[in-house]
């Protein structure tokens, strides 16, 4: 039985894990860098230990230091969250060798899926459809030409050690092939220390659909249906939802079975995700497998009604999966918006800084997985995601309408956020009708980035900042003269700011 878990992460995912641990009555240990001394994961855990300077290479990626804290705190297990060390096979190995439970798959499964050429080979052997192309490294330029002649243009060059869009090149013509091959190789070498590149036929306008799977140590597997993640920007997911509008019960059953076959072929343990590209005709192709809990896992939790972190912990301590495939039912619809400290009207420039005013949405069907609080300084050192706003509804329409309501309620002052951009997507006609694929943001530039939006937003932000300052001053006044009552004036200022912002939008 696991009694104490060290969480080798920060931000919203660290809090998410702590919450499940609390409910399971498992003790929690946080680790933190210099800049995170006052972060929420430090406050919420039962114990917290400093592990090093702010740069993640010297803190959240410092395996030996994290293991030292695991020993010192008497932890039984380590949960890596996502990012950082979560898909590092060497870390999974070291954790096990040091006598702790790694909450995730085996080092072997991580390694197999981390090498995309090996993963393709294993998928072909398991009967999982992959994008037509090579299951081996491209040898040289003659070899590349030969493969392209067989596969047919356009093709994609991908780094075997890559994934998530890093080191990719789209090739339309034979003239482009050689320079792009050289570029892909040197980029792969520079990024991953491995210049192995493979070739896939280019799928023109696909959907990115992924299946959540769970496996235990006794060979039992279930899938928890799909997530539609096609709304992306520069290979960063922006919005995720489940169910997918293009899914049919038949296709879901078939793809779910293939996702399980993929997991089974590497003796997968724990929570994992099998990513597919799906074309307009319902053809689907394995893309890659993510061997971690994903950012977008909450939409699955809402619609399937299970706690994925608890399942991870159960499976890691050797328990059998408590549910069977037949018991899995999708109920309603869930949408997730990722809220970033970025300026959508200035090329998504990171906007770190102090959150001077924060009001998070709440109410029926609303879940906020966040970590910032009023007064918190969002560091530049890590991912700029502030929170995930997740809504649930009986229907897609209700979940989306609820998302608009929740985004309207959300007030973050001090840093620029992607909230205005997310509102524009939620109100977009094609999005509302479910007519979108991976090109959605690129093909809706005009609607999503209207000419005057940056000016508009600046005005709203300035107004909001002034309102916050007035509230702050009013608050101070009330504190020095408590006989002022509940402050009618204060609410008048609030009202002013809100109404103005709404009419402006």
Q: Active-site residue numbers?
A: 292
CB of 230 to ligand MV4, least distance (A): 6
Q: Binding ligand MV4 by CB under 6 A: which of 72, 145, 235, 476? A: 235
Number of amino acids touching ligand MV4 (CB under 6 A) = 16
Pull the structure tokens for residue 26.
């498992």
Q: Is 164 in the site for ligand MV4 (CB under 6 A)?
A: yes
**Residue reference for tokens 């609607």:** 447
By CB atoms closer than 10 A (0-12, 13-18, 19+), residue 181 is buried
- Binding residues for ligand MV4 restricted to 422-451, rule: CB under 6 A: 438
By the 8 A CB rule, do 27 and 74 touch?
Answer: no
Q: Rounded CA gap, 373 and 277, in Å?
A: 38
Nearer to ligand MV4, 60 or 180 (CB): 180
Residue numbers 266-295 binding ligand MV4 by CB under 6 A: 277, 287
Task: List binders of ligand MV4 among 366-425 (CB under 6 A).
Answer: none
CA distance 403 to 237: 17
List the beta bridge partners of residue 29. 6, 47
C-beta closer to ligand MV4: residue 255 or 378? 255
- Window 170-229: residues binding ligand MV4 (CB under 6 A): 200-203, 206, 208
- Sign of the four-CA dihedral 252, 368, 322, 86: positive
Q: Which residues between 122 and 161 bind ligand MV4 (CB under 6 A)? A: 131, 156
Comparing CB distances to ligand MV4, the nearer of 104 and 163 is 163
Nearer to ligand MV4, 202 or 348 (CB): 202
CB of 164 to ligand MV4, least distance (A): 5
CA distance 66 to 81: 14
Q: CA 314, CA 323: separation in Å to the nearest integer? A: 12
214, 269 contact by CB (below 8 A): no
Q: Which is nearer to ligand MV4, 165 or 450 (CB)?
A: 165
Provide the minimum distance between the beta carbon of 358 and ligand MV4 in the complex, in angstroms, as a whole number: 31
Question: Is there a contact between 343 and 351 (Cβ–Cβ < 8 Å)?
Answer: yes
| Contact of 453 with 420, CB cutoff 8 Å | yes
Collapse the DSSP code of 411 into the 3-class scheme (helix H, G, I; strand E, B; otherwise coil) and give the result: strand
- The least distance separating ligand MV4 from the CB of residue 367, rounded to whole angstroms, comes to 24
Q: Give the interface with ligand MV4 as residue ranges (CB under 6 A).
A: 131, 156, 164-165, 200-203, 206, 208, 230, 232, 235, 277, 287, 438
């Amino acid at each position: 039985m696991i009694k104490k878990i060290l969480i080798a992460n920060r931000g919203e995912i660290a809090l998410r894990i702590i919450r499940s641990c609390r409910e399971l009555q498992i003790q929690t240990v946080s680790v933190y860098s210099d800049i995170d001394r006052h972060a929420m994961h430090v406050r919420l855990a039962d114990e917290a230990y400093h592990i090093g300077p702010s740069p993640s290479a010297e803190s959240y990626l410092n395996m030996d230091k994290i293991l030292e804290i695991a020993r010192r705190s008497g932890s039984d297990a380590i949960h890596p969250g996502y990012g950082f060390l979560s898909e590092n096979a060497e870390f999974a190995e070291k954790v096990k060798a040091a006598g702790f439970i790694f909450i995730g798959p085996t080092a072997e499964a991580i390694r197999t899926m981390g090498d995309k050429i090996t993963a393709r080979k294993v998928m072909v052997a398991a009967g999982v459809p992959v994008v037509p192309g090579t299951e081996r490294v491209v040898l040289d330029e003659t070899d590349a030409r030969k493969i392209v002649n067989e596969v047919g243009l356009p093709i994609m060059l991908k780094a075997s050690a890559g994934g998530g869009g890093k080191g990719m090149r789209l090739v339309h013509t034979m003239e482009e092939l050689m320079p792009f091959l050289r570029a892909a190789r040197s980029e792969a070498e520079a990024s991953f220390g491995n210049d192995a590149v493979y070739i896939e036929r280019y799928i023109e306008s696909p959907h990115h659909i992924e299946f959540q799977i769970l496996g235990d140590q006794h060979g039992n597997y279930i899938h928890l249906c799909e997530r539609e993640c096609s709304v992306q920007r520069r290979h960063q997911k922006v919005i995720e939802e489940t169910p997918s509008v293009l899914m049919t019960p038949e296709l879901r059953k078939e793809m779910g079975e293939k996702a399980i076959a993929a997991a089974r072929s590497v003796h997968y343990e724990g929570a994992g995700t099998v990513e597919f590209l799906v074309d307009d005709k319902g053809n689907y192709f394995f893309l890659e497998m993510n061997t971690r809990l994903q950012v977008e896992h909450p939409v699955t939790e809402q619609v399937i009604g299970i706690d994925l972190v608890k399942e991870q912990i159960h499976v890691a301590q050797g328990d059998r999966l408590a549910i069977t495939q037949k018991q899995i039912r999708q109920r309603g619809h869930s949408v997730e918006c990722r809220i970033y400290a970025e300026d959508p009207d200035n090329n998504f420039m990171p906007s770190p800084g102090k959150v001077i005013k924060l009001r998070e949405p709440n109410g029926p069907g609303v879940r906020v997985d966040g970590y910032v609080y009023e007064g918190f300084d969002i560091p530049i050192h890590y991912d700029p995601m502030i929170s995930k706003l997740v809504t649930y509804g009986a229907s897609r329409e209700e979940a989306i309408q609820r998302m608009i309501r929740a985004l309207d309620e959300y007030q973050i002052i001090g840093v620029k956020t992607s909230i205005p951009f997310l509102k524009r997507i939620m109100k977009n006609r094609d999005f509302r009708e479910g007519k979108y694929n991976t090109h959605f943001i690129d093909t809706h530039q005009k609607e999503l980035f209207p000419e005057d939006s940056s000016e508009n937003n600046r005005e709203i932000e300035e107004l909001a900042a002034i309102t916050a300052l007035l509230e702050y001053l009013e608050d101070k006044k009330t504190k020095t003269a408590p006989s002022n009552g509940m402050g009618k004036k204060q609410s008048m200022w609030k009202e002013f700011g809100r109404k103005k912002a709404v009419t402006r939008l």
